[in-house]
Amino acid sequence: MTSTQSPPHWDLSLLYTLGSPELHKDMAILKALAESFPLWKDKVLTGDLSVPEFESLLADYTHLNELADKLMGFASLSFAEDTKNQAALSLMGQLEELLAEARNSTLFFQLWWKDLEDSAAEPYLEAMGPLNYYLKRMRAYRPHSLSEAEERVINYKDITGAEALVTLYDSITGAYSFSSDFVPGSKGEKLSREELSMYVRSPLPQVRKAAYKELYKVFSEDSLVLSQIYQALVRDWRLENIRLRSYPSPQSVRNKANDLPDSVVQCLLEVCSTEAPRVFGEYFAKKASLLGLSKLTRYDLYAPYSASEDEYVPFETGLGLVNEAFVEFSPQLAHLALEVDKSRHLTANILKNKRSGAFCASILPEDIPWVLMSYKGRRQDLFTLAHELGHAVHSQLAKEHGIFQYQATLPLAETASTFGEMLLAQKFLQKATDPQAKRDILFHILDDAYATVARQAFFALFELEAHELVDKGATSSELKDAYYANLSRQFGDKVELTEEFGWEWISIPHFFHTPFYVYAYSFGQLLVYSLWKIYQEEGESFAPRFLKILSAGGSKEPVSILAEAGVGPLDEKFWKGGFKVIEDFLAQI
Ligand SMILES: [Zn+2]
């Protein structure tokens, strides 16, 4: 099949045109809204805001936020399609100032609402039925809030404390460059971390090994100072969140932000700690034998197995394939995915200054989301397309929840996108004619499952341990030993480890930037496998329940959204169902 058409490009003029009168008019309206919003302040602070007044205050607040999102959305899409576009850059600069003003003008409302006594908040909550979840979430931190004076001191001290430490970590590690001496034909040029990390997927075993050795050599040279930064951040986290804010555990701070019960997260990690080594151990043993090795070393984890190049797939064929995969599951899902292309909200062509990677941006609930990617016709591009269109379906289904509640919260944010990839993978498996092609797809699925479910869950398990160890005064080398022991538990006797991997933990920015974030990756991916298991068992009748989960967007707590679609409880059996799906794929290799 040949194609003369290049992949589509979106039409941003459906939003605005740079420099147009409409754009300036909306900016002026936003400015006026930001100026008039504080007129509510007196009523709010004196405590005589009636329920109908609260409703109109919220209407103003909604309008202001919608306009801010639309304007900034347009500016960032314009910038993403052309990162050299000076007009887009200068609009972003202007808008940042305007948005900061708008945000400051509503701050008093947010603070008042958060601090309001439960009895005083009740009548407003009752009146605002559909917005309840959003309004309650704004108040969720009330039990952990301190006095205004204390909060102010923490804010100031964070700038020179925790935030400065994170910046210091970024500055030190961001300046690293790596030797390329191990690369065949190298002329001694220096590599960035990103460039270096490509070599861990080299077909040459000695290159993979040398790339890892170089990575950890550079990091370990600074191990003492990087460990000290980490220890200080962990102590700061504990002092603030446990001692001052009375959270029950260091991790429960993050669970609160994700609106997940501590017990659900604990159960997920417990299941991963036993199932992941067993299931992926088997995968690594298989991978070793297919690569002709007696045993996999940690250097070989991402070794490629197929040297063959992907067959080029023209865009229309690719989109057709994604549609075919989606339609079999649910015609409605497929229809909403195609809408993105039909409405000219999809850019997939190759442009010189386009932002790399891919994203789906939901700008306003009633608008079809915008999807950006660079389609090169490889199989990976088809997975990216299915993933991003999945996101677009998710927000379209949830649009009636309005700007504050239509987008899924973190634990459910990847449900539609990952499920979309699963549907496509299944389609590929059905269509694969020779065993090699089929195996390539299966390796793609299993590598992804390892990197997202197992690796991230063991990161999370390490973090739990590290926070306890630091509290007990552990040294840098004790933390390294704990990390090495964590890897040993993860790989068992299936993967041979070497000393330098003990330093991997100081190279993971999430540990420093956003403590306890990583389990969300395992949660999202394993959730989709568990849903896939239900789909395998129930067939067609599962689709409406799946769409129900998506339609809830971010309008309720994640566990309730699932329960209302008859999914759960999120117990041991549920998560083990997810691992069963991984095992089924493994059995097909
Ligand atoms: Zn995604």
Ligand 1 centre and the CA of 384: distance in Å? 9
Q: Model pTM?
A: 0.92
Neighbours of 16 (CB within 10 A): 23
Ligand 1 centre and the CA of 533: distance in Å? 21
Say what the pLDDT of residue 356 is. Answer: 87
User: 3-state class of 370 per DSSP?
Assistant: strand
Say what the pLDDT of residue 1 is. Answer: 43
Of 582, 571, 504, 523, the C-alpha closest to 278 is 582
Give me the sign of the Cα torsion angle 395, 133, 573, 457. positive
Ligand 1 centre and the CA of 393: distance in Å? 12
Ligand 1 centre and the CA of 416: distance in Å? 9
Residues with CB under 5 A from ligand 1 (ion): 417
Of 553, 517, 522, the C-alpha closest to 391 is 553
Say what the pLDDT of residue 307 is. Answer: 58
Say what the pLDDT of residue 309 is. Answer: 64
According to DSSP, residue 495 is labeled E
Ligand 1 centre and the CA of 389: distance in Å? 10
Which tokens hold the place of 300? 């070989």
CA distance 440 to 290: 12
Which tokens hold the place of 301? 């984890």
Ligand 1 centre and the CA of 413: distance in Å? 7
Helix (H), strand (E) at residue 297: strand 296-297
CA distance 176 to 187: 19
Domain 12-139 class in CATH:
mainly alpha
Ligand 1 centre and the CA of 387: distance in Å? 6
Which tokens hold the place of 524? 């999202």
DSSP output for 65-97: HHHHHHHHHHHHHHHHH-TT-HHHHHHHHHHHH
Neighbours of 458 (CB within 10 A): 23
Ligand 1 centre and the CA of 265: distance in Å? 21
Ligand 1 centre and the CA of 37: distance in Å? 35
Ligand 1 centre and the CA of 81: distance in Å? 19
Which tokens hold the place of 399? 């649009």
Ligand 1 centre and the CA of 124: distance in Å? 35
Ligand 1 centre and the CA of 414: distance in Å? 5
370 strand-pairing partners: 361
Ligand 1 centre and the CA of 422: distance in Å? 13
Ligand 1 centre and the CA of 388: distance in Å? 6
Ligand 1 centre and the CA of 361: distance in Å? 10
Give me the sign of the Cα torsion angle 455, 457, 458, 463. positive
Which tokens hold the place of 245? 């804010």
Ligand 1 centre and the CA of 421: distance in Å? 10
Ligand 1 centre and the CA of 375: distance in Å? 17
359 strand-pairing partners: 372
What is the residue type of 457? A
Helix (H), strand (E) at residue 347: strand 346-347
Of 54, 58, 60, the C-alpha closest to 37 is 60
Which tokens hold the place of 498? 């070497």
Helix (H), strand (E) at residue 461: helix 455-471
Ligand 1 centre and the CA of 360: distance in Å? 8
Which tokens hold the place of 27? 């900016």
* Residue found by looking up tokens 């576009």 in the block: 85
CA distance 46 to 108: 12
Ligand 1 centre and the CA of 95: distance in Å? 26
- Whether the Cβ atoms of residue 416 and residue 550 lie closer than 8 Å to each other: yes
**Alpha helix (H) residue ranges in 222-299:** 223-238, 252-258, 262-290
Residues of the chain with pLDDT under 70: 1-4, 307-309
Which tokens hold the place of 364? 């306003």
468 strand-pairing partners: none
Of 209, 203, 217, the C-alpha closest to 182 is 209
Ligand 1 centre and the CA of 294: distance in Å? 36
Ligand 1 centre and the CA of 451: distance in Å? 15
Ligand 1 centre and the CA of 70: distance in Å? 21
183 phi/psi in degrees, rounded to 5 = -85, 125
Ligand 1 centre and the CA of 391: distance in Å? 7
